[in-house]
Amino acid sequence: MPQQKFRISRYDPVQDRAYEEEFDVEVTPGQTVLDALNLIKWEQDGTLSLRMSCRHAICGSCAIKVNGQSKLACQTQVDAAQDRADANGVIAIGPMGAQTVIKDLVVDTTKFMSQFERAQTWLQPPEGQDPPQREYRQSKDSFDHWSHASSCIHCGACYSDCTVAEIDDNFLGPAALAKAYRFVMDDRDSQHDERLEMLSGSGGIWDCTRCYMCVQACPKDVLPMDAIMELRTEAIKSGKTGNHGTRHSKAFAGGVKKRGRLDEATLPVLSAGIRPGAIPELLGYTPGAIRLLRSRKLFAAAKRHGASKEGRREIKRIFEEVEDQKHHDDMDAVAFETLHEEALKAH
């Protein structure tokens, strides 16, 4: 049976020492990375420490990094990991990111788990009102729209790969935000507006850098980033527009409506907003602007290139028709439903 080399990033808390160790394992086709790690643990080195329980991708215990990407060890075939091994065919194994390592592949999940409390991800039914005798009538459409987001197993793989969580403890992170989405969209919850207000603030939906790491990492197709994006649309619709992200989006769209292309010259100004609070920010753009001038980039940007005349006309028409359509159809909902449907087919 073929031998496979694994290089494991380990940590010994007694000696406070991080080190790498290689193991050779005889792997049979169809075996998972978890199987291989258990073979190491049970037959070679019982000190190798990791969390695991169900071994079929429902408990969320065994999230680790395989070749630098966060995954469930039990859901990752060794064959698939071999495809992405390094130049020498060695599979790299390490603990999750954005969290303190306790020992080997065991990390402290407190920070990750605390985000759910911060985001208040539990149902808040209408206060002072008795629930119905039987069930709340929840429309199938409502349930179908958010139910994929409720399949989160809290494994932390998304948070581990999140490029913002990596550098900012204040960010709620993809899992908590996807869960918040699940409650914003659940018509039994009474805090729709309040949640959107909170989520539009510091550490919330506008701090996501849209890198898709979480969507790529999620073993259950929760599509966290898409949930965050839908929260943005929902928040804007609900009038939570007094923030940078919303102004940025509107300014961006405004520029494209006029000339079919991004209008870099006016974008920063409009994103900051025409308001006293924006002055420090606008002044902050000055060094950057000077740099752009020096490299003669600003002239190019200032030329404000646009689409062809015919193109601009059609683009404007589209903007106006879509704006008009908003009064009859909830095309945003249709757009997101379509996204979910097509994205979930891919597994």
Partner 1 sequence: MLQHDVLIVGSGLAGMRAALEVAEDPTLDVAIVTKVHPLRSHSGAAQGGIAASLSNSTDQDSWELHMYDTVKGGDFLVDQNAAEIMSREAPENIFELEHMGCAFSRYDDGRIAQRNFGGHTEPRAVYAADRTGHALLTVLFEQLLKRGVKVYSEWYALDLVLKDDVAQGIVAYDILTGQIETISARAVMFGTGGYGRAFRVTTNAFASTGDGVVMAYRAGVPLQDMEFMQFHPTGLQGSGILLSEAARGEGAHLLNSDGKRFMEDYAAGRMELAPRDIIARAEQVEINEGRGVTEGKDCVFMDLRPIGEERIRYALPSVMHLAKDFAGIDPLVEPVPIQPTAHYSMGGIPCDINGQVRYKDQDDKPVVGFYAAGECSCVSVHGANRLGTNSLLEAVVFGRRTGRAIREQVKDLQPAHVSEADAERATTEVDRFMTADGEEKVGAIRSQLRDLLMEKCGVFRTDGLLTEAMNEIKEMQSRFENVSIDDHTKTFNTDLLDAIELGHMLEFSEVIVAGALARRESRGGHARTDHATRDDENWYKHTIAYKDEDGPRLTYSEVNMQPQYRDPYPPEERKY
Partner 2 sequence: MKYAFWPGCVARGAAPELYKSTLAVAKHIGIELDELEAAACTGAGIISDADPYLQDVLNARTLAIAEQKNLPLMDICSTCIGVHSLAREKLENLDYRARINERLAPEGLEYTGTVEPRHLLWIILEDLEEGKLKHLIRKPLEELKLGPFYGCYILRPERVLGFDKHPHRRRSLEAVIELVGATTVTYDGMTKCCGFPILTSNKKNSLTMTGTHLAEATDKGADALVTPCPLCHLNLDAQQADAAKVVDRKLDLPILHIPQLLGLAMGLEPEDLGMNRHVVDTQPLLEKAHIL
58 interacts with, out of partner 1, partner 2, none, CB within 5 to 8 A per kind: partner 1
Q: Which one, 59 or 339, has the nearer CB to partner 2? A: 339
Q: Pull the structure tokens for residue 62.
A: 């065994």
Instruction: Tell the smallest beta-carbon distance from residue 57 to partner 2 (Å).
Output: 18
Q: How far is the CB of 219 from partner 1 (least distance, A)?
A: 9
The rounded distance, in Å, linking the Cα atoms of 253 and 231 is 18
Could you tell which of partner 2, partner 1, none binds residue 5, using a CB distance below 5 to 8 A set by kind?
none
* Shortest distance, position 48 Cβ to partner 1, whole Å: 8
Give the residue with the Cβ less far from partner 1, 45 or 86: 45
Q: Which does 89 bind (CB under 5 to 8 A by kind): partner 2, partner 1, none?
A: none
- Contact (Cβ atoms closer than 8 angstroms) between residue 156 and residue 112: yes
- In the complex, what is the shortest distance from the CB of residue 212 to partner 1, in angstroms, rounded to a whole number? 21
Q: Considering the complex, what minimum distance in angstroms separates the CB of residue 343 from partner 1?
A: 13
Output Rg (C-alpha) for the chain, integer angstroms: 24
The residue behind tokens 């490299």 is: 295
Q: Residue 53's binding partner, choosing from partner 2, partner 1, none, with beta-carbon cut-off 5 to 8 A by kind?
A: partner 1
Closer residue to partner 1, CB minimum distance, 293 or 344: 344
Q: Which two tokens stand for residue 346?
A: 């891919």
To partner 1, the closest distance from the beta carbon of 131 in angstroms equals 4
Sheet strand arrangement including 17-26: 17-26, 3-12, 91-94, 63-66, 69-72
Residue 244 near residue 200, CB atoms below 8 Å? no
Q: Name which of partner 2, partner 1, none residue 43 binds, using a CB cut-off of 5 to 8 Å depending on partner kind.
A: partner 1
Q: Which is nearer to partner 1, 187 or 281 (CB)?
A: 187
Closer Cβ to partner 1, 133 or 308, answer by number: 133
Binding partner at 245 among partner 2, partner 1, none, C-beta below 5 to 8 Å by kind: partner 2
- Sites of contact with partner 1 (CB under 8 A): 13-14, 30, 32, 41-43, 45-47, 49-61, 75, 102-103, 106, 109, 113, 116-117, 121-123, 125, 131, 133-140, 143, 147, 150-154, 182-183, 186, 188-189, 344-345, 347
Return the number of other C-beta atoms located less than 10 Å from residue 139's C-beta. Answer: 9
Tokens representing 295 are 């490299």
- Which is closer to partner 1, CB of 47 or CB of 325? 47
Q: Please, which residue, 38 or 271, has the CB nearer to partner 2? A: 271
Q: How far is the CB of 18 from partner 2 (least distance, A)?
A: 15
Q: What are phi and psi of 36, to 5 degrees?
A: -65, -45
H-assigned helices in the chain: 33-39, 78-83, 110-118, 140-146, 157-161, 174-184, 192-199, 213-217, 224-237, 244-259, 267-272, 279-284, 286-294, 297-303, 309-325, 331-345
State the residue for tokens 């908590």: 176
| Token pair recorded at residue 207 | 């701090």
Residue 264 interacting partner from partner 1, partner 2, none (CB closer than 5 to 8 Å by kind):
partner 2
CA distance 210 to 163: 9
When CB distances are held under 5 to 8 angstroms depending on the partner's kind, the choice from partner 1, partner 2, none that residue 279 binds is none
Report d(CA 241, CA 225) in Å as an integer: 20
To the nearest whole angstrom, how small is the minimum distance from the Cβ of residue 135 to partner 2?
30
Q: Choose among partner 1, partner 2, none what residue 61 binds, the Cβ cut-off being 5 to 8 Å by kind.
A: partner 1
Run of H or E including 11: strand 3-12
Give me 87's structure tokens.
Answer: 């130049």
The residues pairing with 22 across neighbouring beta strands, listed in sequence order, are 7
- Residue in this structure with the two tokens 């009102």, named with its chain if needed: 129
CB of 324 to partner 2, least distance (A): 11
